[in-house]
Amino acid sequence: MRYVEAILEPGEKVVFETRLSWTLYGPAIAYALIALALPLAASTVPALTLGVSYAIFVVSALIAVAALVSFGRAWFRRWTTEIAVTDRRVVLKRGFIRRHTVEMNMQKVESVDVDQTQLGRFFNYGTVTIRGTGSTLESLRMIDRPLKLRSTITAG
């Protein structure tokens, strides 16, 4: 059972859910492309010795392992992060064993700020900061659909 579903109070409904952006996989994708490009580029040079070809293969394999590790970390981070807006509060949960949760009642929300870079606007992700009376919900970075999150919070 997901965290947000487990903490819902009687009669409380989830209005909107979002997650971390898929662009977290960017480094893994870049590593994978480099790992694929190295042997392909080396195969176009016919005069390479066996030792150089072997070294290129080893470097490519190491970069492929780095791509797998980077992919695993990004996937786990995305999988263990939940962001939801209910009809009563905003909920953020991060982590698996070491869990960090933040909740803010909708009546306490004063403003919602959204920051997006040019890439963020293109891929629809950004940083959302929710300011509340007496406290600030920490900035939520790399959030998918940040404008929809803002409009859901301010409409509630």
Confidence check: pLDDT of 106 > 80:
yes
Residue 7 placed within a domain: no
pLDDT at 125: 96
Query: 136 in a domain, yes or no?
Result: yes
For 117, the domain range is: 13-21+83-155
Find all residues with CB under 8 Å of 108, minimum gap 6, and list them.
132, 133, 134, 135
Q: Which of 148, 143, 146, 136 is nearest to 108 (CA)?
A: 136
Residue 68 falls inside a structural domain:
yes
Say if CB 93 and CB 82 are below 8 A apart: yes
Residue 6 domain-assigned (yes or no) = no
Q: For residues 156 and 142, which has the higher predicted lDDT (pLDDT)?
A: 142
Same domain? 87 vs 151: yes
To the nearest whole percent, how much of the chain has pLDDT over 90? 69
Instruction: Give me the count of residues in the chain.
Output: 156
User: Does the residue 4 lie in any domain?
Assistant: no
Query: Under a CB-based contact definition with an 8 Å cutoff, are residues 101 and 37 in contact?
Result: no
* Mean of pLDDT values over 68-88: 96
